[in-house]
Structure 1
Amino acid sequence: MTTLETLEETLRTVYDPELGVNVLDLGLIYDLKQDEAGVVHIQMTLTTQGCPLHDTIVGGVRNAVSRLPGVTDVNVDLVWSPAWTPDKMKPEAKQQLGF
C-alpha cells in the first residue's frame, strides 16, 4: 500500500505544461485514495474543459502513479463539476503564478 503522502509527492512531479505548475498545487486533484487491492482512484479536473493537453496531463498522472510500489492499477475519473477556479490553487501555486 502506498501512503497518501507518497501519492501526493508523486503528483507534484506532474505539471500542467502551459502553466508550469504541478497538478496537485494547481488544485486539479479533487480526490485521491488507494483501495485494498492496490488500485489508486483519482478524481481530477483540468483548468478548462477544452484543454488541448488533456491526454498529456491525464496520461502523466496515470503514468507517474502507476510506477509506485504497491500500485496495481490507476483509475482517473475526469470531472468538470465543480469547475476549477484559481481559488483552488495552493498558496505555493498562487505565488508561482503571481496571484
Structure 2
Amino acid sequence: MDQTLEGRIVAALRTVYDPEIPVDIYELGLIYDIDVAPDFFVMVKMTLTTPNCPEAGRLPGEVEDKVRAVEGVADCRVEIVWEPPWNPSYMSEAAKLELGMF
C-alpha cells in the first residue's frame, strides 16, 4: 500500500462510488489530477461520465470530504472539468473487467 500523502488520497478516492456504476471513481477514470500544494491544500480535478450525471450535486462534496479526512491534508477543493470529455478508455483494466467490457 502506498503510504505517501498522494497514495493515501488515492486510497480515499477509491472509496467513492457513483451509485449507478459498481466501480469507484478513481478506477472509472473520473479523477484527472491531484495537486498537493506545499501547505497541503489539495486540488482535485475530476469529471463526470456525463454533464447530466444525476450525482453531479453529490460526488464533488463527497470527494472533498474523503480527501479532507486523509491525515496530512489541510483542506481540499474539487473542480469539475469537462475537457477532455470522459470516455470508457479512461477506465482502468480492473474497471473494464468489473463491467464486463473484455
The TM tier, using the shorter chain, reads over 0.9
**Contact 2:5-2:72 within 8 A present in 1 as well:** no
Question: CA offsets, 1:59-83, max 9 Å, x none?
Answer: 1111101111121111111000100
Higher helix share: 1
Secondary structure of 1:95 counterpart: helix
TM-superposed deviation, 1:33: 1.9
Gaps of 5+ in 1: none
Question: CA offsets, 1:39-97, max 9 Å, x none?
Answer: 11101000000111112211111110111112111111100010000000000100011
Cα separation, 1, equivalents of 2:51 and 2:30 = 12
Higher strand share: 1
2:52 to 50, 53, 59: 50
The equivalent of 1:70 in structure 2 is 72
Secondary structure of 1:21 counterpart: coil
The equivalent of 1:40 in structure 2 is 42
Q: Which amino acid is 2:38 matched to?
A: E
Question: What is the RMSD of the two structures over their aligned residues, measured on CA atoms?
Answer: 1.0
Identity of aligned residues (%): 42
Q: 2:63 matched to 1:79?
A: no
Aligned length, in residue pairs: 98
The equivalent of 1:91 in structure 2 is 93
TM-score (norm 2): 0.91
Question: CA offsets, 1:22-44, max 9 Å, x none?
Answer: 01000000001211111111010
